[in-house]
Amino acid sequence: MIRPTFKTLFVITLLGGVLSACSTSPDPRLYILEPMHVSGGSQTGEGLSIVVGPVTLPAHLDHKGIVTHDQRYRVNAAKFDRWAEPLDQNIVRVLCDNLSALIPSNQIVAYPRQLAHDVDYTVRIRISEFGTNPDGEVVLNVAWMLHDKANAPVNAAKTRYSVNRRGDDVVAVVEAMSQAVERLSRDISNAIVSASAD
């Protein structure tokens, strides 16, 4: 039986450490969509009661890695640039914050949470495209429907929002995506205000 020498053990340990260091991955970078910037403080009035959601996404966007569509027929999911929370939940949260500022109301909640009483309106959203396209723009293709307290549809729209990025990094992509959600929020808020005025 051959016994390993001290030198052999040292080399094996050193190689093990090198291989271990090579196999460690860098920490992921986490991102979130942000609500629109509102000056003048938060609103305190009760206002309309609204449930936002669900938001449905295509399967290729239901991914932890941020998805880019850099050329036709191909999408890429980033390995280390990830969403800090599920994208559909992030979108609903930002929509709630934006609508609370635009309408204003403090009775706007995310689906499936319910209010203690009948809600005035429910907004359901279906997204078919959200992210960068091969031309480098951020595009949001979305269909949404507004229902009243009797669950009757009062407004519906299919819209394509296109936002130019301010740079090529991931922060610029997420910023442009946040701006697209802001535009959607403004259209939904206008529909709610119009419906409530009838």
DSSP string, 91-117: HHHHHHHHHHHHTT-SEEEETT---SS
Q: What local confidence, expressed as pLDDT, does residue 154 receive?
A: 95
The predicted model scores a pTM of: 0.84
Domain boundaries of the chain, sorted by first residue: 42-197
Q: Is 68 left (phi over 0), alpha (psi -120 to 50) or beta?
A: beta
- CATH tag, 42-197: 3.40.50.10610
User: pLDDT tens digits, residue range 80-93?
Assistant: 999 999 999 999 99
pLDDT of residue 81: 95
Q: Give the pLDDT of residue 43.
A: 52
Question: In this predicted structure, what is the pLDDT of residue 53?
Answer: 95
pLDDT of residue 118: 84
Of the candidates 112, 117, 185, 88, the residue with the CA atom closest to the CA atom of residue 146:
185
In this prediction, residue 100 carries a pLDDT of 94
Predicted local distance difference test score (pLDDT) of residue 45: 56
For the chain, list the strands marked E by DSSP. 29-31, 49-56, 65-71, 74-83, 107-110, 121-132, 138-148, 153-163
Q: What angle do CA 117, 122, 123 make, to 5 degrees?
A: 155
pLDDT in tens, 24-38: 778 899 999 999 987
How far is 185 from 93, CA to CA, in rounded Å? 11
Contact 138, 128 (CB under 8 A): no
Determine the pLDDT at residue 13.
58
Stated as kind and residue range, the H or E segment containing 18 is: helix 6-23
For the chain, residues with pLDDT lower than 50 are 9, 18, 21, 41-42, 44
Closest CA to 188 of 57, 58, 61, 51: 51
Residue among 182, 171, 184, 181 nearest 66 (CA): 171
**CA 33 to centroid of chain Cα atoms:** 5
